[in-house]
Structures are given as structure tokens and as C-alpha cells.
């Protein structure tokens, strides 16, 4: 009996050692002397956005490229439409290391990386080309450091074009903003911006926006073209006003420790895939904006380009928002962003 107990104890001890060698980092390969080219991984990539969006296309392209470049060793399963949680939840999960990758807009990330309020500076970028050059230049490293300080690694920025305004009142002068009840995200700088223009910003759950516009609870809303068409806001709004006040950035992020635990070879695969997916997603965004504009016009809504004079007035009125953001994140980062824009123009 004693011999049987000793044998059982030895077997359990050996089994424990084998299992311990198999754990950690999402690796599927058993313990032993394996090289980097044999290590396999299964990761998840989460987003709150549905599949028919640039956000999804960015994430899916990244996953496909990682699979291709690793010869199938690194598998990334994409979970869209909030399957793993809403924007705030999945950002917190990637920060903690519970989710490997996340693709999402920068707005909810301000709760975790306060310095991202720099992208809430109204009219910071005159066009998408300038924004992309800034975000591919030295400023990228500056902002990436802020992510890393909060245990998040930034892999790249794509975008979904600019946020624009839909309304039933044609906007041609600064006075045309007066009193318009416009739905915004619950972001203090977004609220401050529309107040500065004379509008009446109203935070509202996105799911309630269509009904709010239909019933007159709100007069207007602001979102990228893709969101406007996907939610058919053109059915109940007469005008789409190209305010282009904020670029809708889409970030690809991961956990710092998870990334650092990968071999140099696999880190390079992740970085190369992120770079290629970013460029491709931007191209898709441009193509989709053109298509969405056509859909809006074909359904009877009018696209309104604002004059240079009106844009200058909007920029002047937003100076108070710049001061708010400076007070929150400091002059250094704001000035760095403004300098980066100036240098690439």
C-alpha cells in the first residue's frame, strides 16, 4: 500500500511539472526545448463595433496578416459587436492583460490614458492626409509612450475619416449653430466645443439617437459618414454639414507585458502586420467615405461644405476648449501636436 502511494505521489509530481511548463502567455506549445519558429499562440482581438465598419476591417486584416506572416503559428480570433464587452470594458481588459488585442476609437481610452485628450482638440487636423503624416511621424512615439505608462502598447492608428454634423437646419453661418440640440458622446471636451459654437450639446446613448432625431428630442448629431449611413440618419436629417471638427481615430492596442514576452521574431511579425493593416484600413476608409456620400445624396439629403470664413470663426470660438485641454494634460503635449501639424503641412 505504501509503495502504491509513493508511486502515485511521484506520478502526480511529474504531471505538475509538465503542466507548469505549458502555461503562460497564451502559448499552446508544450514545455521543452522549442525554438521561436515552433512556438504557437491563440489570441483574441475585441472591438465594440460591428463587422461592416473600418474598425472591423482593420482588426480582421491585422489578424489575417499575423496568421500569414507566422505561417499559422499565431492565431487571432476577432470578436466584434461587443461580444467581449463594451469599449470601456475591453480597454480595461487589454490594460490588465485579460484580452490580447483591441481595436477601438481613442475617445473611451481617455479614461485610461488621459493624454489622449490631445485628439479632442477641435480642428487640430485640416485634413486626413495631414493627420496620417503626423500619426506616422515622431509624434506617434510621443503618444505611444503615454500608452506604455499605462500598461498599453500602441501598435498603430487607422481612421474612419472626420466626424461631421447632421441636422435639419442648414448651417452656413456661426449663428446657425445657435440653440441646436446636438447629441454628443459623454466627453467634457466635446460638450465644451459645441457649447462654444452656441449649440446645446446633449449626451445620449447611441442606441437612442435615431429615435431622438425622429421625435425631435434632439435636432442634430455628429459622427463619421460611415456611422451616419450605417444607422440611416439621412432618412430623418436634411443636411450633412462637413464640420470636420475631429478625426475619428481607430487604434490597435495590446498589453505591454504580453508584447514584451514574445520573441523578437514574433514581435516583428506583430509590428509588420499592424503597419500593413493600418495602411490598408486607411485606404478602405477613403473608399467607403466616397460610397457613403453617394448614398446620402441619392436618398435626398444635402452635403454642406462650410466656408473658410465660418471655419475660421469655429476655430476662434474653440480656443476655450484648447485651454481646458492644456490645463488637463499640460502645454508640452498640446504644443507638440500643434508643432507636428505645422511641420507636415
Q: Tell me the per-residue pLDDT of 49-66, one tens digit each, with 9 for 90 and over.
A: 888 889 999 999 999 999
Q: Distance (Å, rounded) from C-alpha 247 to C-alpha 232?
A: 21
Those residues with Cβ within 8 angstroms of residue 139's Cβ, 6 or more apart along the chain or in another chain:
336, 337, 340
User: pLDDT, tens digit, for every residue of 205-251?
Assistant: 888 999 999 999 999 999 999 989 988 999 999 999 999 999 999 99
Number of residues assigned to the chain: 345
3 lies in a domain?
no
Task: Kindly indicate the confidence band of residue 38, based on its pLDDT and cuts at 50, 70 and 90.
Answer: confident
12 lies in a domain?
no
168 lies in a domain?
yes
250 lies in a domain?
yes
Per-residue pLDDT, 205: 80
2 lies in a domain?
no
4 lies in a domain?
no
19 lies in a domain?
no
Per-residue pLDDT, 17: 36
* Three cell numbers written together for 122: 477641435
CATH of the domain at 272: 3.40.190.170
Judge whether 36 and 48 are in contact, CB under 8 Å: no
* 254: β partners: 101, 153
What is the tally of structural domains in the chain? 1
* Three cell numbers written together for 125: 487636423
Distances, alpha carbon 34 to alpha carbons 21, 30, 38, 65, 225, in Å: 12, 9, 6, 24, 49
Please report the DSSP string for 49-86 in residue order.
Answer: S-SSSHHHHHHHHHHHHHHHHTTTSEEEEEE-TTTT--
Q: Are strands 239-255 and 302-304 parallel, antiparallel or unpaired?
A: parallel
15 lies in a domain?
no
Expressed as residue numbers, the domain containing 143 is 40-344
Amino acid at each position: 500500500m505504501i509503495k502504491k502511494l509513493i508511486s502515485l505521489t511521484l506520478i502526480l509530481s511529474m504531471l505538475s511539472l509538465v503542466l507548469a511548463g505549458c502555461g503562460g502567455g497564451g502559448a499552446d506549445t508544450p514545455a521543452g526545448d522549442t525554438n521561436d519558429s515552433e512556438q504557437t499562440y491563440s489570441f483574441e482581438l475585441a472591438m465594440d463595433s460591428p463587422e461592416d465598419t473600418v474598425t472591423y476591417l482593420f482588426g480582421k486584416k491585422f489578424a489575417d496578416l499575423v496568421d500569414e506572416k507566422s505561417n499559422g503559428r499565431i492565431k487571432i480570433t476577432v470578436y466584434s459587436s461587443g461580444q467581449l464587452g463594451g469599449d470601456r470594458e475591453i480597454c480595461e481588459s487589454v490594460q490588465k492583460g485579460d484580452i490580447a488585442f483591441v481595436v477601438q476609437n481613442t475617445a473611451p481610452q481617455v479614461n485610461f490614458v488621459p493624454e489622449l485628450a490631445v485628439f479632442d482638440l477641435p480642428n487640430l487636423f485640416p485634413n486626413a492626409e495631414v493627420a496620417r503624416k503626423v500619426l506616422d511621424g515622431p509624434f506617434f512615439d510621443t503618444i505611444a509612450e503615454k500608452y506604455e505608462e499605462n500598461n498599453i502598447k500602441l501598435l498603430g492608428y487607422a481612421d474612419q475619416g472626420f466626424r461631421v454634423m447632421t441636422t435639419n437646419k442648414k448651417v452656413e453661418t456661426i449663428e446657425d449653430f445657435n440653440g441646436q440640440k446636438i447629441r454628443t458622446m459623454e466627453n467634457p471636451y466635446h460638450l465644451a466645443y459645441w457649447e462654444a459654437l452656441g449649440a446645446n450639446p446633449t449626451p445620449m446613448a447611441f442606441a437612442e439617437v435615431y429615435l431622438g432625431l425622429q421625435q425631435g428630442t434632439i435636432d442634430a448629431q455628429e459622427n463619421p459618414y460611415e456611422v451616419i449611413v450605417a444607422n440611416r440618419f439621412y432618412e430623418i436629417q436634411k443636411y450633412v454639414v462637413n464640420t470636420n471638427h475631429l478625426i475619428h481615430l481607430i487604434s490597435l492596442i495590446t498589453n505591454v507585458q504580453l508584447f514584451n514576452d514574445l520573441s523578437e521574431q514574433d514581435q516583428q511579425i506583430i509590428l509588420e502586420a499592424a503597419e500593413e493593416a493600418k495602411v490598408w484600413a486607411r485606404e478602405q476608409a477613403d473608399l467607403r467615405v466616397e460610397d457613403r456620400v453617394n448614398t446620402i445624396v441619392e436618398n435626398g439629403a444635402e452635403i454642406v461644405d462650410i466656408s473658410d470664413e465660418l471655419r475660421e470663426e469655429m476655430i476662434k470660438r474653440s480656443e476655450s476648449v484648447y485651454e481646458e485641454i492644456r490645463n488637463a494634460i499640460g502645454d508640452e503635449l498640446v504644443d507638440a501636436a500643434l508643432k507636428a501639424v505645422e511641420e507636415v503641412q
